[in-house]
C-alpha cells in the first residue's frame, strides 16, 4: 500500500507496532471515519517539517468524531487534533499518535439574522479561514476581514485567539460549542472565556466543534476590497517564498519579538535548512529540507541570544508536538 493511501481496515492486519494494532482494532468499531496509515507529516503542516504520522483519521460526521474520541479515551490511546497545521511543529521520525482532522465533519456554516443590518455566523471548526472569507464576500457579511492571510481553520483560530494588529478572534466571538476534557458537550459564551493575547482561554483539553461570530451586512465589493488590502499588507511584511509556521514567538508585553531577534543579530541565522527569515525575524522558514531538530536548534539559540542581550524570555507561539 502506498504511504498515506486510504484503505479499509480488516481485523488481524498490522502496520508494524503494537499501538497501530490497537488503532486498527479500534477503527473497526467506529463507522464513518476515513483512516490513512504512515502519512508524511510534511503534508499536515505549513512548515513542511516532520517524519511520519502513524495514523490520520478524518471523521465524516460529528457523531463519528465523538464516538472516535470516546473510544480513544476509553482505550487510553494517544490522539491529537490538527487544523490547518499552520502553528505546529511535528516530530522527526515515526510519531505514534492518531492525528484527527475535522475538515469533513465540521465545516458547515449558518447565518442567523439579528436585525436588518447584523447577524451571527455559526461556523464549523474545520472550515478554513480562507474559505470563510470567500463566503463572507459572496454573501455580504462584514467584520471578519482582519482574518485575511491567517492560514488557520476556525477551530485553530479560536484556540489561539488568532489575530493581527487589526483585530483578534475574541473581538467578534459570541460563543463556542465544544467538547471538554471529559468529552462532555458544552456551550461557552465569550464572557466566560479568559481570552488574551494568542490564547483562547478555553477549558483544558477542549475540542472546538463550532463558533459563533458577530457580523454585519455590507457590500460584497467593499468586503472584497478590505480583504485584498489586508492580504497586500501581509505580503509586504511577511516572507511568503518558503514554508513556515508564521510567527514563532509571542510578542512580550510592550515589545516586538521580531525587533528583539533582529537587534540581537539573528536575521538570516541558519541551522541546516531552518533559517530566521531576513524579511521578518520572528519567522523561521524551511529553505528546503529542514528537520524539526534544525528548527528547535534555531529556536534554542535565538531564545538564548535574546535573553542574554535583553533579559527577555521569548515564549513560543508555535505548538511543539511531543
Residue 307 a catalytic site member: no
Q: Which overall architecture, per CATH, does domain 240-320 show?
A: Alpha-Beta Complex (3.90)
Number of other CB atoms surrounding residue 195 within 10 Å? 18
Does 3.40.50.1580 match the CATH number of domain 109-236? Answer: no
Residue 62 a catalytic site member: no
Q: Are 56 and 83 in contact (CB under 8 A)?
A: no
CATH of 18-100, one of 3.40.190.10, 2.40.30.70, 3.30.43.10, 3.40.50.620: 3.30.43.10
- Distance, in Å, from the CA atom of 281 to the CA atom of 268, rounded to the nearest integer, reads 8
Per-residue pLDDT tens listing for the chain (322 residues): 333 433 333 323 334 467 778 888 887 888 899 999 999 999 999 999 999 999 999 999 999 999 999 999 999 999 999 999 999 999 999 999 999 999 999 999 999 999 999 999 999 999 999 999 999 999 999 999 999 999 999 999 999 999 998 999 999 999 999 999 999 999 999 999 999 999 999 999 999 999 999 999 999 999 999 999 999 999 888 898 899 999 999 999 999 999 999 999 999 999 999 999 999 999 999 999 999 999 999 999 999 999 999 999 999 999 999 9
Point out the catalytic residue in the list 43, 177, 198, 287.
Answer: 198
Point out the catalytic residue in the list 55, 105, 136, 247.
Answer: 247
Question: For 38, how many CA atoms within 13 A lie in the half-sphere containing its CB?
Answer: 9
Q: Mind giving me the DSSP string for 85-143?
A: SSSEEPPSSEEEEEEE--TTTS--EEEEE-SSSEEEEEEETTSBHHHHHHHHHHHTEES
Residue 114 a catalytic site member: no
Locate the domains of the chain by residue range: 18-100, 109-236, 240-320
- Distance, in Å, from the CA atom of 61 to the CA atom of 64, rounded to the nearest integer, reads 5
- Distance, in Å, from the CA atom of 140 to the CA atom of 220, rounded to the nearest integer, reads 5
Same topology, domains 18-100 and 240-320? Answer is: no
Amino acid at each position: 500500500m502506498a504511504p498515506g493511501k486510504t484503505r479499509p481496515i480488516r481485523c488481524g492486519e498490522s502496520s508494524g507496532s503494537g499501538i497501530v494494532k490497537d488503532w486498527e482494532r479500534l477503527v473497526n468499531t467506529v463507522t464513518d471515519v476515513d483512516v490513512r496509515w504512515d502519512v508524511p507529516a510534511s503534508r499536515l503542516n505549513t512548515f513542511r517539517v516532520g517524519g511520519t504520522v502513524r495514523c490520520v483519521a478524518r471523521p465524516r460526521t460529528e457523531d463519528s468524531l465523538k464516538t472516535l474520541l470516546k473510544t480513544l479515551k476509553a482505550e487510553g490511546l494517544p490522539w491529537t487534533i490538527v487544523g490547518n497545521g499552520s502553528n505546529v511543529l511535528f516530530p522527526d521520525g515515526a510519531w505514534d499518535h492518531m492525528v484527527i482532522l475535522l475538515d469533513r465533519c465540521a465545516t458547515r456554516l449558518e447565518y442567523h439574522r439579528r436585525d436588518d443590518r447584523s447577524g451571527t455566523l455559526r461556523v464549523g471548526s474545520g472550515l478554513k479561514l480562507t474559505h470563510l472569507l470567500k463566503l463572507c464576500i459572496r454573501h455580504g457579511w462584514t467584520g471578519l476581514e482582519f482574518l485575511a492571510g491567517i492560514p488557520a481553520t476556525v477551530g485553530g483560530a479560536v484556540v489561539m485567539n488568532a489575530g493581527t494588529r487589526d483585530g483578534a478572534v475574541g473581538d467578534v466571538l459570541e460563543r463556542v460549542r465544544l467538547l471538554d476534557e471529559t468529552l462532555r458537550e458544552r456551550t461557552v459564551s465569550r464572557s466566560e472565556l479568559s481570552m488574551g493575547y494568542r490564547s483562547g482561554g478555553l477549558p483544558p483539553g477542549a475540542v472546538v466543534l463550532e463558533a459563533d461570530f458577530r457580523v454585519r451586512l455590507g457590500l460584497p465589493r467593499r468586503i472584497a476590497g478590505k480583504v485584498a488590502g489586508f492580504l497586500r499588507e501581509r505580503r509586504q511584511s511577511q516572507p511568503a517564498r518558503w514554508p513556515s509556521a508564521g510567527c514563532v514567538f509571542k510578542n512580550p508585553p510592550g515589545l516586538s519579538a521580531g525587533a528583539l531577534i533582529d537587534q540581537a543579530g539573528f536575521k538570516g541565522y541558519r541551522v541546516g535548512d531552518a533559517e530566521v527569515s531576513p524579511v521578518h525575524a520572528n519567522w523561521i522558514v524551511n529553505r528546503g529540507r529542514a528537520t524539526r531538530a534544525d528548527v528547535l536548534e534555531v529556536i534554542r539559540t535565538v531564545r538564548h541570544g535574546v535573553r542574554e542581550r535583553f533579559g527577555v524570555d521569548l515564549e513560543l507561539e508555535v505548538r511543539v508536538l511531543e
